[in-house]
Amino acid sequence: MTTVDFRALEYRADATFQETPYRYEGALDGGWRVLREGRPHLELPAGYRLLRSLECGVCATDLARRFLPFPLPQIIGHEVIARDESGRLVAAEINASHYATGSALAAACPFCRAGLHNHCPERLVLGIDRLPGGFAPWILVPDRNVVEIPSGLPPDSSVLVEPFAAALHASERMSLEGARRVAVLGAGRLGLLIVAALRITREARGHTFSIEAVDRQEKRLALARVLGADVAWDDLDSLLSASGSKPIFDVVVEATGSPFGLQAALSLASREVHVKSTTGKETFGLRHLTELVVDEVSLAPFQPRLGTSRLPPGGPGSTALLIGSRFEPETIRLLESQGFVCRSAPSLEDFEPLKDRERPLAEVQADLVMVDCLERIDRVLRPRPDLEQGLVRPRGTILVADVGQTRAGLLGPMLDRGVRISTSRCGDFHRGIRAMETLSSLGVDLGAVITDRMPVSELALAFERACSPGSIKVVVSQTV
């Protein structure tokens, strides 16, 4: 059995840090006990490895951690580079699912079995949900989540593997076919990586769209040009004025993390807005925008007069759930013609499977849920306040039917102009690393987005710095 004792700075609900003693004891094949202040804190099954944390990036999720629906205090941080038992440099994928630990339970888990192990409802998430994170000197990571860093990857950029993999996944989740202009709103720690990811995706798929970065800081725009932006805009207000009633971009990536940013993105996009921000705050009338992103659910309009042209494809076993009473009669017929098996209820209170509190929500999740108002979008995303699961399966779709309702919040752009909202979360580290190596071979240094490196003893100051206008990416090191 291996035992390590250490002290680490925990993040608390009042956004302060408190140094706290921890002990990890256990082994890969026998499981681990995590003790906090000498008392049992967390039990982990077999399949976890002990890694020595070296560096960890500060991201927007860390800064918004107190607004997220996960227990505090906690050792946070999930953009981790570490060394394994043999001294190899490794990155740590963050979702500790049945699949990741090699558990026999993976065969019975509908998410792990379907390749959606990043959405396993019983997963822990490194530095976010219960599993102690990378701002500690030691981390426990599922064996399958440990990814070796190749020697060809520049050392200064290796700490960006997790956020860049997520940025690449975002570019792969967007509907870019036929797009002419794609804008990234906010050239910060996330937006700059998405610019680089769009560059890689454009080349790999043979697209010809222009990549356009929007930010108020010339320093960030200059870096965006280096990473792949063809055009840089420093005046969002002028863009919004020029847009008027005719949006000027096909796709807009909202990377500001602010409610105003989403509103601006919806004004500027003619067909799609992609959201990655997990702020935990109500945004443009939607309380559960963060949960929409965490579950990677798409939000799209449905106008019956357009027939099946705006419907996602169904197929064998695909299910649709209609919540509301104002849908046109042919709606179910259209869904069934696309291969969906339909259920309906006038309200969530009338949806019988939801009344059974003992029944796992995964058993009644639908591939597609149709609603008719903002409130029902929120209720579908989190129908039970004590459970972080929705009625729509991860990577599914919520359709908002046009029934002549008031165009409140984001319903206006969706229903009047047909704008779709797509989302994404974590990406594949192996694909991300290959893309980073390709960028390096082209002379693109992703490490240029790192503006500050600070010791873990100054973690509170690192968070302050990460919020300041002069900073882009802050990295915290165990030794500096």
> Which CATH number belongs to the domain containing residue 325 in this structure?
3.40.50
Instruction: Give the per-residue pLDDT at 422.
Output: 96
Same domain (yes/no): 210, 94: no
∠128-131-133 over CA atoms, to 5°? 65
Do the domain assignments include residue 289?
no
The CATH number assigned to the domain holding 239 equals 3.40.50.720
Q: Is the dihedral of CA 453, 458, 460, 464 positive or negative?
A: negative
Instruction: Give the per-residue pLDDT at 308.
Output: 47
pLDDT, block means (10 residues), the chain with 480 residues: 97 97 97 98 97 96 92 97 96 97 93 92 96 98 97 89 97 96 96 98 96 96 97 90 82 91 92 89 86 94 65 82 87 88 91 82 91 92 88 94 86 91 96 96 94 97 95 89
Integer Cα distance of 280 and 74 in angstroms = 17
Same domain (yes/no): 414, 455: no
Same domain (yes/no): 254, 387: no
Nearest to 322 by CA among 347, 290, 291, 305: 347
Domain residues for 205?
Answer: 151-270+429-444
Task: Give the other-Cβ count within 10 Å of 166's Cβ.
Answer: 24
Integer Cα distance of 378 and 23 in angstroms = 40
DSSP conformation class of 86 = T
The CATH number assigned to the domain holding 113 equals 3.90.180.10
Same domain (yes/no): 361, 463: no
User: Any idea of the CA torsion for 246, 248, 253, 254, to the nearest 10 degrees?
Assistant: -50
Same domain (yes/no): 8, 122: yes
DSSP conformation class of 270 = E
DSSP conformation class of 129 = B
Do the domain assignments include residue 301?
yes
Nearest to 429 by CA among 90, 53, 23: 90
Residue type, 44: L
Integer Cα distance of 42 and 39 in angstroms = 10
Same domain (yes/no): 113, 34: yes
Integer Cα distance of 294 and 52 in angstroms = 28
Do the domain assignments include residue 287?
no
Do the domain assignments include residue 284?
no
Do the domain assignments include residue 280?
no
Number of domains in the chain: 3
Same domain (yes/no): 453, 439: no
Same domain (yes/no): 255, 369: no
E strands, 234-284, in order? 249-254, 269-275
Do the domain assignments include residue 193?
yes
Same domain (yes/no): 19, 138: yes
> b vs e for 272-310, b when ≥16 Cβ sit within 10 Å of the residue's Cβ?
bbbbbbbbbeebbbbbbbbbbbbbbbbbbbbebeeeeee
Same domain (yes/no): 17, 127: yes
Same domain (yes/no): 19, 142: yes
Do the domain assignments include residue 286?
no
The first and second tokens of residue 95, run together, are: 């979702």
User: Any idea of the CA torsion for 444, 445, 450, 451, to the nearest 10 degrees?
Assistant: -90
Same domain (yes/no): 242, 208: yes
